[in-house]
């Protein structure tokens, strides 16, 4: 099988070819590595790859298939892992110089679950440093480029994972989403990305950014593939007390589009959105309505505060979580100091980038005496109001559909000098993690050759309905 064929394969197609022995996992993996070697110098999706380890996993999968064993859907299929998740045998940099040589001492739960399925891990993908950013330009190792146009960003912070899937440098990938870090790059790169419900997937082994918002999720070429990955990584983990068992909640009756009520929030169709993006999203909603879905305009009145709430709560948690990178326990250490405080200051100054330091300073200020009540406490109260908005909306509708982003991918360097402009990239994605609900981004068309994302949000732990609506729309679009 040629390199171009391996680029295009979905999980389901690759699984069928492996099962029928039309291709081996070794051939599939080598085909992907050929693609990486040809493209990744320019795209820079990966911070590190491990060919030897990947081919060993591929051989093991081939042996099981050759012996006639029943294997799972992910056995022998190459995957890329965002470099803020621990994988034994790999360094885990989180895109930062402060962890440049940090060797993962164990597997994150999601990585362990993939390995148990026989997945082939290719390497670790590039990201904004400590997952802080919307463009993957904040990586200490250099920016990732969008495969559709290498002068544009892939989105962030999981830009390496999204770009790797879009460019055929893996069959699927894992990312993490704190304020949109799976959905926004999925939109910019024209792939499918899911932020699961908070607690649906274990965070054990994920380098923490903002612990009440972070969630691991999958990227793939199709909705069905994303559902396959989610079913493997989801569920209760004794090592993460916030994780939840999902089996009982996800039993859904047979899907009928005419039974689905879709909410369209007026607050998401506002000034500032690219008219061409809005037109494509509204066409997608209209297409679903023509097929029998019930469309209802709804209001999420506290949406206008979501970005402010996010940029108070998130840096506060960043400030606490990143205190551990002090040059004493692990990672970079600048020991040429006169005292302990000197070591702390020099290590963090050398090891942390501008955006990370900006968020640490902002979070520390928000949590400081005299400001905690005025900012952090107030933000938590408004967070509850945003969650209440969704609770009321989901009494009337099954899913909510919005644009994922207000524009297509912007140019490299376009927003790096204006942090506020960069933060506004998250305007349509921050509400879901604030409320803890699941949300998926999928392609719904292109504007001047650049992909546009459709966002589908659902009730807590009701990923199944999101998948059903998304699959229906995907089939509708493919057969148009």
User: To which residue do tokens 């938590």 refer?
Assistant: 380
User: Which has the closest alpha carbon to 293: 301, 284, 280, 304?
Assistant: 284
Choose, from 17, 82, 195, 221, the residue flagged as catalytic. Answer: 82
C-alpha span between 137 and 353 (Å, rounded): 11
- Scored b (16 or more CB within 10 A) or e, 425-453 reads bbbbbbbbbbbbbbbbbbbbbeeeebbbb
Q: Positive or negative, the Cα torsion across 133, 442, 172, 447?
A: negative
Choose, from 96, 157, 176, 316, the residue flagged as catalytic. Answer: 157
Reading phi first (left if > 0) and then psi (alpha if -120 to 50, else beta), residue 407 is in beta
With a CB cutoff of 8 Å and minimum separation 6, the contacts of 188 are 146, 152, 153, 154, 155, 159, 162, 405, 408, 409, 450, 451, 453
Residue 82 catalytic? Answer: yes
C-alpha span between 93 and 83 (Å, rounded): 6
The count of other CB atoms within 10 Å of the CB of residue 127 is 32
User: To which residue do tokens 């054990």 refer?
Assistant: 204
C-alpha span between 176 and 253 (Å, rounded): 30
User: Which has the closest alpha carbon to 401: 313, 340, 472, 352?
Assistant: 472
Token couple for 439: 């949300």
Token couple for 389: 């908005």
Choose, from 96, 181, 425, 441, the residue flagged as catalytic. Answer: 181
Token couple for 16: 């069928």
User: To which residue do tokens 């509204």 refer?
Assistant: 282
Question: 79: which strand partners?
Answer: 121, 172
Residues with active-site annotation: 82, 157, 181
């Amino acid at each position: 099988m040629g390199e171009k064929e391996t680029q295009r394969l979905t999980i389901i197609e690759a699984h069928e070819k492996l099962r029928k022995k039309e291709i081996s996992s070794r051939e599939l993996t080598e085909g992907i590595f050929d693609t990486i070697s040809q493209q990744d110098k320019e795209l820079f999706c990966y911070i590190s790859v491990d060919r030897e380890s990947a081919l060993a996993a591929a051989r093991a999968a081939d042996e099981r298939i050759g012996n006639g064993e029943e294997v799972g859907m992910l056995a022998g299929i190459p995957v890329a892992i965002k470099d803020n998740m621990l994988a034994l045998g790999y360094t885990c940099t989180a895109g930062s110089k402060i962890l440049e040589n940090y060797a993962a001492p164990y597997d994150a739960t999601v990585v362990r679950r993939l390995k148990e399925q026989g997945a082939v891990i290719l390497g670790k993908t590039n990201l904004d440093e400590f997952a802080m950013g919307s463009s993957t330009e904040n990586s200490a190792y250099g920016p990732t480029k969008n495969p559709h146009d290498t002068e544009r960003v892939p989105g962030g912070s999981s830009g390496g994972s999204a770009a790797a899937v879009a460019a055929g440098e893996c069959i699927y990938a894992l990312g993490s989403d704190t304020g949109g870090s799976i959905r926004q790059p999925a939109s910019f790169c024209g792939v499918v990305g899911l932020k699961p419900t908070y607690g649906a997937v274990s965070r054990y082994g994920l380098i923490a950014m903002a612990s009440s918002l972070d969630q691991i999720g999958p990227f793939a070429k199709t909705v069905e593939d994303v559902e396959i990955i989610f079913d493997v990584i989801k569920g209760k983990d004794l090592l993460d007390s916030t994780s939840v068992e999902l089996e009982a909640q996800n039993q859904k009756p047979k899907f009928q589009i005419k039974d689905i009520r879709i909410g369209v929030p007026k607050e998401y169709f506002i000034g500032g959105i690219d008219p061409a993006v809005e037109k494509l999203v509204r066409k997608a909603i209209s297409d679903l309505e023509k097929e029998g879905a019930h469309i209802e305009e709804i209001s999420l009145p506290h949406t206008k505060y979501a970005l402010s709430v996010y940029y108070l709560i998130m840096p506060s948690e960043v400030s606490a979580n990143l205190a551990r990178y002090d040059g004493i326990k692990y990672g970079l250490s600048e020991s040429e100091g006169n005292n302990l405080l000197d070591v702390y200051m020099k290590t963090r100054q050398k090891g942390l980038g501008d955006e990370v330091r900006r968020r640490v300073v902002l979070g520390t200020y928000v949590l400081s005496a005299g400001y905690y009540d005025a900012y952090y406490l107030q933000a938590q109260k408004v967070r509850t109001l945003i969650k209440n908005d969704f609770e009321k909306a989901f009494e009337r509708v099954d899913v909510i559909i919005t644009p994922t982003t207000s524009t297509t991918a912007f140019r490299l360097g376009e927003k790096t000098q204006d942090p506020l402009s960069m933060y506004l990239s998250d305007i349509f994605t921050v509400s879901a993690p604030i409320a803890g609900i699941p949300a998926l981004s999928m392609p719904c068309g292109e504007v001047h050759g650049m992909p546009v994302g459709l966002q589908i949000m659902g009730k807590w732990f009701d990923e199944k309905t999101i998948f059903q609506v998304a699959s229906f729309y995907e089939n509708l679009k493919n057969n148009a």
